[in-house]
Structure 1
């Protein structure tokens, strides 16, 4: 008669090799079950979304149209709406507001911009980033040994459990 095994309790610790083998099997079974459920959920979400796609797109189009209409009227009447010098107007059913974005810089072709800045001797607009070279420290750990704030981590061991998967061709 086959021995029945129940799932380990929370905080479970394997007591021997057989229990560890069983726990690895249960881990693989549980991971596969979770993957199946996640896949089913994603399929259901895709089906629901697809079924409501026309309605969703119609609502998005209506929202865009309403926002455009509101903005067009508000822009044309901004002086009256903000006659007190403010940036917000209360229209009983909601507020409209205008906000100035902070200045920003966009750069295309970074290499060409850097080249031009250097040619024009505008190096104050070029950032030089200094940082410790970790690769060099790993290559020569004895030299940096004892420097406060520098630790060379060696022999760190990670533990991994990979349940076997059977692939069907």
Structure 2
């Protein structure tokens, strides 16, 4: 199975090897080390999957045991809410072993079919509910770098050179 070669990008660096042969050996070594790293990532993921598989049934058992107890505590507390919250003056009920709380979630909006919602908002004249996002057009700045670089806060970077090493795939057997 042919895989896409992994590329390594780095900033250019001062030369350490003295001969072409040394560089060829180094590139081979980079490829070997990359394959070792990939093998370790696979090994790690396999072990994580094994651990997850081992603990999932135990955790599900505990959750199943926990749910009816939580539901029963909630039911009792709901029926005694006035007593626990001092007739609604607090949102917390205190017990010797812990507290129960009633918390109001903040309001939220969910939108399904954003395009159709936007169309409906336009139709109803509710454009105040539509956000128009302004952002810097970097492509246009790259087309006119001299003018764009005059703007405070804008820097146009050019001439940055990356050095890329792409070792050939070798059979690891």
TM-score band w.r.t. shorter chain: 0.7 to 0.9
Match of 1:28 in 2: 31
Inter-CA distance 166–106: structure 2 relative to 1 (3 Å threshold): same
Inter-CA distance 159–64: structure 2 relative to 1 (3 Å threshold): farther
Out of 33, 57, 68, the position equivalent to 2:60 is: 57
Asked whether 1:164 is paired with 2:129, we answer no
Q: Distance in 2 between matches of 1:103 and 1:52?
A: 36
TM-score, with length taken from structure 1 = 0.74
Contact 1:144/1:150 (<8 A) preserved? yes
Match of 2:84 in 1: 81
1:39-82 Cα distance to aligned partner (Å, 9 max, x none): 22322332233234432221222223332222222222211111
Q: Does 131-140 or 97-106 show the bigger shift?
A: 131-140
Q: Which runs of 4+ in 1 moved over 6 A?
A: none
Match of 1:123 in 2: 127
Which stretches in structure 2 are left out of the alignment for 5+ residues? 1-14
Corresponding pairs, count: 156
Match of 1:139 in 2: 143
TM-score, with length taken from structure 2 = 0.73
Inter-CA distance 62–121: structure 2 relative to 1 (3 Å threshold): same
Inter-CA distance 36–144: structure 2 relative to 1 (3 Å threshold): closer
Q: Does 133-142 or 74-83 show the bigger shift?
A: 133-142
Out of 62, 70, 92, the position equivalent to 1:67 is: 70
Match of 2:4 in 1: none
Q: State the secondary structure of the residue aligned to 1:96.
A: strand
Deviation at 1:97, TM superposition (A): 0.9
Point out the structure with the larger strand share. 2
Q: State the secondary structure of the residue aligned to 1:159.
A: strand
Contact 1:14/1:23 (<8 A) preserved? no
Inter-CA distance 39–132: structure 2 relative to 1 (3 Å threshold): closer
